[in-house]
């Protein structure tokens, strides 16, 4: 379980005068849940890339627990993400030709030998997310099922935080709701913080807190009345 | 990781196949050129091995060497038989054997010579015995004639419209062991039989009357009676008829050089066939350099093409690489996957190319052997290992460098592609 502390974060893209992201302070307590929303171009994706270390940060600090990932070298950042951040993306990024199970364990397998316990856990997670046929190749799954596999992959390494970037945007309403439920349920069960970028009201109202971005700044930060 | 690479290869089957074919063909070209040139060089060097020194009438050295070593049909000028007699008695000479070409039978050259040459070519006959009478013949290992078969020689070759000699039919009495030279296709007969067949008899036996009668009796006025049953006589004197070439086996290397010196004159020519062939190889070597230059050029083009493939391979996987990094795959495994996959393709193409090149060289050698009977050994040499190692190293660099470059972009940007 990791707390997030952002301070004086400024992200600029070459050729643009205004910063695409400018956040003076943002705190997410350990185990907290946060929805990030905003129009397209408001800096949501940049925020996700910054907090996950996918993009290099030059100004400001992004602290996960005790680690300021803005100070880490690229390879250390990649390693930190692998160990502590579970990523779920809009386009799933599953690898065709591999089975559901193989996709879930791929990140682990690429860095070291898979332990039997991890394999067991992967199988359990697939059951939890509702994928019964573990050896089915991913391209034959429905989109909703693909995202379920992606969720299972994100939590396999028991990350301190789950970061999801528009996880339901490319799914129909039914599948989207299923994924929303899963994310919240798994984050709580695994004791992970949860940060979700989304436009999906169903997903937003499942999370305790919501910030809205515009022009790279936080224009609204409020706690939602949690839906029952 | 292997599963991942295989899954990826399955997705890009056609492209992977194209890369393999591209590399295989270019490698095959270089391999064929290298192996074939070596095969021809080794094969003909071995073919010339048994021919230490050749003495012939003044003329073309190359023609003399090629005629004797490869039994190429060509009209060589005759040299006085006295030279043969003189050489036979020379103390520096182990044996001097006349070589009389010109006739053929069923496409096989019929060569008139003496028993020492047969014994030099094939110390032990594979079957039968040496010729003892003028009508006997010893065939090369590739001549499909059984012992006891009759051979009717033809003047010149069938293609040249030669006529059949009717005065004699040689009887096969022996077969030589395989020598790996053009002589495996030859039919060896006593030189005196050839002389008699062509009406070339020693002067003292030349009775003008007799000659006149013969001219009337025979269809071919040049041809005379051959005493098929007469014993082989291998003593030569000043009156011996002319021969196109004499093969000399000197006793020592020094003798060889002295003999060559002595018989290089206005009327005779003495050559080391090996040396003549070496000179030919120099020419052949130029051709090889040209071919190799073409092959190298092809490889440069292929290397460029492969680099393009590598860059495109990485380009199409930019998102995939970004995703792998995003989900926590360490950089080393990403480099291993991306360049490993390319390297597998390259190596497959390389292996296939060596195989194809070797097969091609073997086919060409087999075709050459079928027409010349000279064995062309297709074999790899030690220096080939360095070439191969160099190529593999180059492929590794081409496979790895673009992968390393791809890691310079941030995963976020890679995912946006």
Q: What is the DSSP annotation of B302-366?
A: HHHHHHHHHHHHHHHTHHHHHHHHHTT--HHHHHHHHHHHHHHHHHHHHHHHHHHHHHHHHHHHH
Mutation target to probe the A interface, by most A beta carbons within 10 A, among B328, B337, B408 is B328
Chain B contact set for A74 (CB, 8 A): 410
Q: For residue B417, what pLDDT is reported?
A: 64
Question: How far does the CA of residue B400 sit from the closest CA of chain A (Å)?
Answer: 18
Which parts of B49-96 fold into alpha helices (H)? 61-70, 81-89
A75 touches chain B (CB under 8 A): yes
Residue B335's CB is within 10 A of a number of other CB atoms, namely 17
For residue B98, the SS3 value is strand
Q: How confident is the model at residue B224 (pLDDT cuts 50, 70, 90)?
A: low
CA distance B321 to B177: 65
Average pLDDT over residues B154-181: 80
Asked if pLDDT for residue B214 goes beyond 60, the answer is: no
- Residue B242 pLDDT exceeds 80: yes
B1/A109 Cβ within 8 A: yes
Name the residue facing B323 among A93, A109, A157 (closest C-beta).
Answer: A93
Taking residues B245-267, report their average pLDDT. 88
Chain A contact for B329 (CB, 8 A cutoff): yes
Contact criterion met (CB below 8 Å) for B243 and B99: yes
Per the structure block, which two tokens stand in for B386? 């360095």
Q: What is the pLDDT of residue B205?
A: 43
**pLDDT (average), residues B324-344:** 86
> Which pair of tokens denotes residue A104?
């879930």
Which residues of chain B lie closer than 8 angstroms to A110, CB-CB? 1, 4, 324, 329-330, 333-334, 337
Mean pLDDT score, A9-14: 89
pLDDT at A119: 93
Does the beta-carbon distance from B415 to A109 stay under 8 Å?
no
pLDDT of residue A224: 61
Is it the case that residue B88 has pLDDT exceeding 50?
yes
pLDDT level of residue B206 (50, 70, 90 thresholds): very low
Decide if pLDDT at B12 tops 90.
no
A111 CB within 8 Å of a chain B CB: yes
Instruction: Provide mean pLDDT across the span A3-10.
Output: 93
Q: CA A99, A100, A101: angle at the middle one, nearest 5? A: 90
- Number of alpha carbons in the 13 Å side-chain half-sphere of residue B204: 4
| Mean pLDDT confidence for A32-53 | 91
Give which of B194, B223, B51 is closest to B113, Cα–Cα: B194
What is the structure's pLDDT at B207? Answer: 40
Among B13, B326, B329, B340, the residue to mutate for chain A (most A Cβ within 10 A): B326
What pLDDT digit, counting tens, does each position of B140-152 carry?
988 888 888 888 8
Question: Which of B318, B321, B327 should one mutate to test binding to chain A, selecting the residue with the greatest count of A CBs within 10 A?
Answer: B327
- Whether residue B327 and residue A107 make contact (CB cut-off 8 A), yes or no, is yes
Distance CA B51, CA B258 (A): 16
Note which residues in 237-256 of chain B have CB less than 8 A from chain A.
none
pLDDT band, residue B169 (cuts 50/70/90): confident
pLDDT digits (tens, 9 = 90+) for B379-402: 888 888 888 888 889 888 888 888
Scanning every residue of chain B, which has its alpha carbon at the shortest distance from the alpha carbon of A52? B326
Q: Is the CB of residue B320 less than 8 Å away from at least one CB of chain A?
A: yes
H or E, element range at B26: helix B13-48
Minimal Cα–Cα distance from B47 to chain A, Å? 58
Q: Of the candidates A54, A97, A110, which has its C-beta nearest B411's C-beta?
A: A54
pLDDT, average across residues B105-119: 87
Distances (CA, A) of B124 to A91, B134, B171, B182: 81, 21, 19, 18
Work out the average pLDDT over A111-140.
91
Indicate yes or no: CB of B334 within 8 angstroms of CB of A110.
yes
Which whole number is the average pLDDT over B94-117? Answer: 86
How confident is the model over B163-184, as a mean pLDDT? 84
Given CB atoms, is A49 within the 8 Å cutoff of chain B?
A: yes
- Residues in chain B within 8 Å Cβ distance of A95: 4, 7, 320, 323
Which residue of A lies nearest to B332 if distances are taken between CA atoms?
A: A111
Smallest CA–CA distance, residue B19 to chain A, in Å, is: 21
Cα–Cα distance measured from residue B60 to residue B58, given in angstroms and rounded to the nearest whole number: 7
B326–A102 CB contact, under 8 Å: no
> Residue B221: pLDDT above 50?
no
- Cα dihedral A130→A132→A133→A139 (10° resolution): -20
Q: What average pLDDT does the segment B229-245 reach? A: 82
Cross-chain Cβ contact A49/B10 below 8 Å: no
Torsional sign, CA B317, B322, B327, B330: positive
Which range scores top for mean pLDDT: A111-120, B36-45, B96-105, B296-305? Answer: A111-120
Residues of B with CB below 8 A from A52's CB? 326
Percent of chain B with pLDDT over 70: 92
Cβ of B11 within 8 Å of Cβ of A87? The answer is no
Give the pLDDT score at B29. Answer: 86
Cβ distance of A110 and B412 shorter than 8 Å: no
Cβ of A110 under 8 Å from any chain B Cβ? yes
Q: What is the pLDDT of residue A122?
A: 93
Mean of the pLDDT values across residues B59-84?
83
Over range A198-206, report the average pLDDT: 88
Residue scoring higher pLDDT (B295 or B106): B106
Q: Residues 6 or more apart from B330 whose CB is under 8 A from it?
A: A75, A78, A79, A82, A110, A111
The residue-averaged pLDDT of B266-284 equals 82
Hey, what are B254's tokens? 């020094």
pLDDT category of residue A8 using cuts at 50, 70 and 90? very high
Of B10, B319, B329, the CB nearest to A111: B329
The CA distance from B221 to B244, in Å, is 22
Contacts of B339 (CB under 8 A, 6+ apart): B396, B399, B400, B402, B403
- The answer to whether residue B324 neighbours chain A at the CB level (below 8 Å) is yes
Contact residues, chain B, for A106 at CB < 8 Å: 4, 327, 329
Contact assignment for A75 to B331 by CB distance below 8 Å:
yes
Which whole number is the average pLDDT over B316-327?
85
- Note the pLDDT of residue A127: 92
Please count the other Cβ atoms lying within 10 Å of the Cβ belonging to residue B379: 12
């Amino acid at each position: 379980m990791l707390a997030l502390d952002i301070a004086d974060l400024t992200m600029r893209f070459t050729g643009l005068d205004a910063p695409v992201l400018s956040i003076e302070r943002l705190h997410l307590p350990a185990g907290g849940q946060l929805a990030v929303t905003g129009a397209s171009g408001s800096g949501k994706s940049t925020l996700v890339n910054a907090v996950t270390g996918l993009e290099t940060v030059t100004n400001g600090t992004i602290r996960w627990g005790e680690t300021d990932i803005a100070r880490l070298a690229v390879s250390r950042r990649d390693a930190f993400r692998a160990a502590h951040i579970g990523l779920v993306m809009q386009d799933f990024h599953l690898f065709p030709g591999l089975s559901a199970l193989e996709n879930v364990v791929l990140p682990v397998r690429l860095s070291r030998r898979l332990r039997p316990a991890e394999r067991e856990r992967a199988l359990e997670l697939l059951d939890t997310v509702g994928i019964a046929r573990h050896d089915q190749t991913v391209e034959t799954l429905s989109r909703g099922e693909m995202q379920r596999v992606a969720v299972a992959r994100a939590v396999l390494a028991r990350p301190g935080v789950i970061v999801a970037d528009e996880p339901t945007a490319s799914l129909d309403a039914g599948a989207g709701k299923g994924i929303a439920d899963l994310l919240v349920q798994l984050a709580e069960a695994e004791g992970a913080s949860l940060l979700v970028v989304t436009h999906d009201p169903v997903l937003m109202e499942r999370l305790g807190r919501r910030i809205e971005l515009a022009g790279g700044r936080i224009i609204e930060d409020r706690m939602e009345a949690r839906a029952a | 990781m292997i599963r991942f690479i295989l899954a990826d290869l399955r997705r890009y089957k056609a492209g992977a196949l194209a890369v393999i074919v591209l590399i295989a063909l270019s490698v095959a070209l270089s391999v064929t050129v290298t192996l074939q040139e070596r095969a021809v060089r080794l094969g003909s060097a071995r073919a010339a091995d048994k021919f230490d020194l050749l003495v012939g009438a003044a003329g073309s050295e190359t023609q003399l060497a090629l005629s004797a070593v490869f039994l190429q049909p060509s009209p060589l000028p005759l040299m006085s038989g006295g030279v043969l007699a003189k050489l036979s008695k020379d103390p520096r000479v182990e044996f001097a054997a006349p070589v009389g070409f010109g006739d053929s039978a069923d496409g096989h050259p019929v060569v008139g010579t003496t028993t020492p040459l047969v014994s030099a070519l094939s110390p032990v006959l594979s079957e039968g015995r040496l010729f003892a009478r003028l009508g006997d013949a010893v065939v090369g290992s590739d001549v499909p004639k059984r012992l006891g078969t009759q051979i009717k020689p033809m003047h010149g070759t069938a293609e040249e419209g030669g006529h059949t000699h009717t005065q004699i039919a040689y009887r096969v009495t022996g077969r030589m062991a395989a020598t790996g030279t053009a002589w495996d296709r030859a039919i060896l007969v006593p030189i005196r039989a050839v002389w008699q067949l062509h009406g070339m008899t020693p002067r003292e036996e030349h009775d003008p009357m007799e000659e006149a009668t013969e001219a009337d009796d025979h269809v071919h006025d040049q041809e005379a009676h051959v005493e098929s049953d007469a014993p082989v006589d291998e003593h030569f004197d000043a009156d011996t008829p002319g021969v196109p070439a004499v093969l000399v086996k000197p006793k020592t290397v020094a003798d060889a050089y002295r003999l060559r010196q002595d018989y290089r004159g206005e009327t005779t020519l003495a050559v080391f066939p090996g040396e003549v062939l070496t000179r030919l190889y120099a020419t052949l070597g130029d051709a090889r350099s040209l071919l190799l230059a073409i092959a190298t050029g092809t490889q440069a083009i292929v290397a460029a093409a492969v680099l393009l493939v590598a860059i495109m391979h990485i380009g199409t996987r930019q998102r995939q690489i970004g995703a792998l990094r995003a989900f926590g795959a360490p950089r080393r495994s990403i480099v291993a996957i991306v360049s490993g996959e390319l390297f597998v393709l390259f190596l497959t193409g390389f292996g296939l190319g060596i195989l194809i090149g070797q097969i091609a060289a073997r086919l060409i050698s087999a075709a050459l052997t079928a027409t010349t009977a000279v064995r062309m050994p297709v074999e790899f040499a030690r220096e080939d290992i360095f070439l191969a190692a160099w190529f593999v190293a180059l492929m590794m660099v081409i496979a790895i460098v673009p992968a390393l470059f791809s890691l310079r972009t941030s995963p976020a940007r890679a995912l946006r592609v």
